[in-house]
Amino acid sequence: MRVLILGGTAEARALAAELAARGVHVVSSLAGRVSNPRLPVGEVREGGFGGPKGLATWLREHAVDRLVDATHPFAARMTASAARAAGATGVPLLVLRRPGWPAEPGWQRVGSLQEAAARLRAPARVFLTTGRRSLPVFTGRPGIWLLARSVDPPEPPIPPNVHVVLDRGPYTLEGELALIREHRLDVLVTKDSGGELTSAKLDAARLLGMPVIMVDRPPPPAGVRLVETVAEAVAWIEGAGAQG
């Protein structure tokens, strides 16, 4: 059996390791948007496919039996491409998404980055953890100071009211509390990525009574099968996946 896993998430790496241990030929595809990514077990390819048609061609040329989309919960374009390529080729598709964070009292849940930016009220010192590509959505707002944390640096120029922190999870509660206090941050803006690697910021916000603006994740394409754990993904590949 040949399985293509899309994504560089922790779940994607765990699935690749589990399948390789079971003798499955695994290829993990990384988008190449993060420098020095943590590499999974098995064969790895980097870079895009050229849209749904390119992915469909790759699936056919490499005789892929199962396709697992384990990309970031906010990689909506990649998930849509996977669904279209799977539909064109007949390769069974599974979407592996870790659960989102349970909503808490006081959270403002919004449907987009733009809506999150519109909810900010000056003056505010914002802890922004929505990714480097989203930074332009939040800049240029009078009275808003941003501490933007990301794995890789945002594209220059960096506005004077933005302080960039380059760091990679997992984060600790102690570290998040220290960061918030050092920079006198008073509101957290984040995406509902889920998982434990980055959840310490939410624990810190809770302890400090800090407001949270949470961007909801986009829904998966209609008709796509979705699971939340690596164990469920393995069971699908070895069992239910055999029936499509």
Over range 89-93, report the average pLDDT: 97
Q: Report the pLDDT value the prediction gives residue 243, as an integer from 0 to 100.
A: 46
Is there a cis peptide before residue 211, judged by omega within 30 degrees of 0? no
Domain check: are 119 and 206 in the same one?
yes
Q: For all residues of the chain together, what is the average pLDDT?
A: 93
- How far apart CA 81 and CA 78 sit, in angstroms, is 5
Q: Are the C-beta atoms of 213 and 75 separated by less than 8 Å?
A: no
At residue 38, the pLDDT reads 77
Residues 68 and 150 in one domain: no
Checking if the pLDDT of 205 tops 70, the result is: yes
> Do 203 and 125 reside in the same domain of the chain?
yes
Same domain, 237 and 141: no
Domain range holding 236? 2-99+218-243
Instruction: Give residue 241's pLDDT.
Output: 46
Question: Is there a contact between 31 and 78 (Cβ–Cβ < 8 Å)?
Answer: yes
Tell me: pLDDT of 37 over 80.
Answer: no
Tell whether 88 and 125 lie within a shared domain: no
Which pLDDT does position 106 carry in this prediction?
Answer: 82
User: Per-residue confidence at 53, pLDDT binned at 50, 70, 90?
Assistant: very high
pLDDT band at 35 (very low <50, low <70, confident <90, very high): low
The pTM assigned to this predicted structure is 0.89
Looking at the fold, whether 93 and 120 belong to one and the same domain comes out as no
CATH code (residue 11)? 3.40.50.720
Residues 113 and 204 in one domain: yes
Residue 2, pLDDT above cutoff 50: yes
Kindly report the number of other CB atoms within 10 A of residue 224's CB atom.
Answer: 17
Residues 1-28, mean pLDDT to the nearest whole number: 95
Instruction: Summarize the confidence of residues 115-144 as an average pLDDT.
Output: 96
Q: Are 147 and 162 in the same domain? A: yes
Tell me the mean pLDDT in the region 211-222: 95
Q: What is the mean pLDDT of residues 81-104?
A: 96
Question: Which H or E run contains 11?
Answer: helix 10-21
Same domain, 209 and 115: yes
Span 210-221, mean pLDDT?
96
pLDDT at 132 over 90: yes
CATH number at residue 124: 3.40.50.2000
Is pLDDT at 107 greater than 90 in this prediction?
A: yes
For the chain, the domain total comes to 2
The order of strands in the sheet holding 212-215 is 107-110, 212-215, 187-191, 124-129, 144-150, 162-166
Contact 185, 210 (CB under 8 A): yes
Q: State whether 113 and 197 are in the same domain.
A: yes
Domain shared by 24 and 85, yes or no: yes
In this structure, the answer to whether residues 112 and 43 fall within a common structural domain is no
User: With 90 as the cut, is the pLDDT of residue 34 above it?
Assistant: no
pLDDT score recorded for residue 8: 86
